[in-house]
Amino acid sequence: MDKLLSQIYGLSPEQLKAYSAHVMLGGGSRGGPILERGKGVRVWDTEGKDYIDCTSQSWALYLGYANDAINAIIHEHIENMTHIHQGFDTKARYYLAHKLASLAPAGMNRVSFTVGGGPAIEAAMKIAFKNIQPSRDFVTLFDSYHGTTLGTMGASWISTKSIGKFFGGSRFLPLTRAFVRIPNPVTYRNPLGVDTETYIDICLTMTREIFQRGTSGKPAGVIVEPIQASAGQLILPTRYLQELRKICDEFETLLIYDEIQTFGRIGDVFAANHFGVAPDIIVLGKGLGAGLPLAAIIISDKLEGFQGDTEELHTFANPSLSMITAAKQLEMFENGVLANCREMGAYLGSQLCALCATYPEVGDVRQLGMHIGVELVDDPESKNPLEKEAGEIRKAGFRHGLILGTGGVRRNVLKIKPPLIINRSECDEILEKFTASLCDVLRK
Ligand SMILES: Cc1ncc(COP(=O)(O)O)c(C=O)c1O
């Protein structure tokens, strides 16, 4: 082993404690173990304890830790190239762009690559501004999350509602703009207490009103996560997306899908294809590079794309290694990974639903592929959120060797989003550990 690597791997608990003072974090729920190595769906900490990872590390390690096929292709390709300037073409970039275009909805054929999810949303915003003129505003849904760059912060979660607690509060306001918000069609609990179909109609009516009277001229685009992940794993109804598409056409604004979390994880490459409603721009990130950094936008043939005059230029926007791993992963998607994701996701979903019989606190299970959220409430009638308990269950999960995510506007949603390669006995292990964690907290 390289001497430096053995020095790093050999850092003592005292050194780790001392060095941690130098690490400055701007987010993420800390308090978990220090991770040392992983394989498949499992990761080990520095104490040698193992965990099944239901977060896939920011939901991005679709093929799990240290995937053999991905590692092999990395080793081969790394002998040839890693970083290439955006201005030079490579076979890897041609191949991946072609592959993504061939899988995307018809008429979406141009791909621009970039360095991360937030910058990819901003790339989509630039395309929207270029094509919809004059325009000033972007519209997004209540409780959406689209990144923490200065350009996307205002579109994210509760930033427009809360000065102080999130996203640096007012300190970033000089360069952060609030986005115009439209109501999200929540199916589990809506503020008016009406049935879901009626609430969808109300959301759509309000959206029309806001487009007419709540924006400064024509909005450049509406940015939508087909499954609102941070908001609490809210799966948008197909009818809502169909009608939103019509509203965007009527008001001549662009429909932009943030597919950063749904890509592949829902058991289909693109949410646009799954829901059968095509947007004008699709944004990808997170799992796109099979664990290596990569993000992209795919745009409709109807739109004017980027020009080569430095409208969109990033040092690391042509990462050859990530493009090779992304292409390999797409091949693996077709050779069983997505089918497994659909099958194991449905199994996990049905078993989690069955937990409601013993734990009425399991108020709702929302599942599409391996995109799963469990909403905890005090009882199924009142649906009062169990925020504190959700945090405690996450901690109990660590004790049982299970890494869970938490989220939702009320912080009462547990997220179960493991790598897509998970098998049946690993699903059973998740269910067993999850139930034990529920029992520790809810039946103590
Ligand atoms: C739906 C969605 N959009 C955008 C982002 C931002 O991506 P990144 O963290 O790569 O900037 C995220 C990240 O969590 C996300 O979940």
pLDDT tens profile 360-382: 999 999 999 999 999 999 999 99
Q: Is any atom of ligand 1 closer than 6 Å to the C-beta of 38?
A: no
Domain span holding position 432 = 15-67+336-442
Tell me what pLDDT residue 309 has: 86
Q: Is any atom of ligand 1 closer than 6 Å to the C-beta of 157?
A: no
Closest CA to 264 of 125, 371, 399, 135: 371
Last residue of a domain, one of 318, 344, 370: 318
Q: Is any atom of ligand 1 closer than 6 Å to the C-beta of 390?
A: no
Q: What is the mean pLDDT of residues 342-356?
A: 97
- Select, from the ranges 130-134, 166-170, 177-181, 409-413, the one with the highest average predicted confidence (pLDDT): 130-134
6 inside domain: no
Q: Do 291 and 161 fall within a single domain?
A: yes
> How far, in Å, from the CA of 432 to the mean position of ligand 1?
30
Tell me what pLDDT residue 170 has: 59
Say how many CA atoms lie within 13 Å of 239 toward its Cβ.
Answer: 12
Q: Is any atom of ligand 1 closer than 6 Å to the C-beta of 419?
A: no
The predicted-structure confidence for 269-286, as pLDDT tens digits, reads as follows 999 999 999 999 999 999
Q: Answer yes or no: is pLDDT of 385 > 90.
A: yes
The predicted-structure confidence for 77-97, as pLDDT tens digits, reads as follows 999 999 999 999 999 999 999
> How far, in Å, from the CA of 240 to the mean position of ligand 1?
23
Q: Which of 261, 265, 413 to mutate to test the pocket of ligand 1 (most atoms within 8 A of CB)?
A: 261
Q: Do 221 and 250 fall within a single domain?
A: yes
The predicted-structure confidence for 237-254, as pLDDT tens digits, reads as follows 999 999 999 999 999 999
- State the CATH number of the domain containing residue 411: 3.90.1150.10
Per DSSP, what are the bridge partners of residue 138?
221
Nearest-CA residue for atom 14 of ligand 1: 147
Q: Answer yes or no: is pLDDT of 163 > 90.
A: no
Q: Is any atom of ligand 1 closer than 6 Å to the C-beta of 405?
A: no
Q: Do 173 and 104 fall within a single domain?
A: yes
268 inside domain: yes
Q: Do 95 and 48 fall within a single domain?
A: no
326 inside domain: no
Q: Do 312 and 344 fall within a single domain?
A: no
Q: Answer yes or no: is pLDDT of 188 > 90.
A: yes
Percent of the chain with pLDDT over 70: 96
Long-range contacts of residues 183-187, Cβ cutoff 8 Å, at least 24 apart:
183/141, 183/142, 183/207, 184/141, 184/142, 184/143, 184/144, 184/228, 184/231, 184/234, 184/236, 185/236, 185/237, 185/240, 186/234, 187/234, 187/235, 187/237
4 inside domain: no
Q: Do 274 and 198 fall within a single domain?
A: yes
Q: What is the mean pLDDT of residues 69-84?
A: 97
Q: Is any atom of ligand 1 closer than 6 Å to the C-beta of 234?
A: no
Q: Is any atom of ligand 1 closer than 6 Å to the C-beta of 373?
A: no
- How far apart are alpha carbons 13 and 234 in whole angstroms? 41
Last residue of a domain, one of 289, 318, 347: 318
Mean pLDDT of the chain: 94
Q: Which amino acid is at 44?
A: W
Under the banding of pLDDT at 50, 70 and 90, the label for residue 176 is confident
325 inside domain: no
Q: Answer yes or no: is pLDDT of 173 > 80.
A: no
Q: Do 312 and 259 fall within a single domain?
A: yes
Q: Do 60 and 87 fall within a single domain?
A: no
Under the banding of pLDDT at 50, 70 and 90, the label for residue 48 is very high
- How far apart are alpha carbons 347 and 72 in whole angstroms? 31
194 inside domain: yes
Cα angle, residue 295 at apex, residues 292 and 299 outer, rounded to 5°:
150
Q: Do 141 and 96 fall within a single domain?
A: yes
Structurally, the chain folds into a number of domains equal to 2
The model carries a pTM of 0.97
201 inside domain: yes
Q: Answer yes or no: is pLDDT of 120 > 90.
A: yes
Under the banding of pLDDT at 50, 70 and 90, the label for residue 157 is low
Tell me what pLDDT residue 162 has: 45
The DSSP call for residue 336 is: I
- State the CATH number of the domain containing residue 239: 3.40.640.10
211 inside domain: yes
Q: Do 130 and 58 fall within a single domain?
A: no
Last residue of a domain, one of 286, 318, 350: 318
Under the banding of pLDDT at 50, 70 and 90, the label for residue 43 is very high
Q: Answer yes or no: is pLDDT of 172 > 80.
A: no
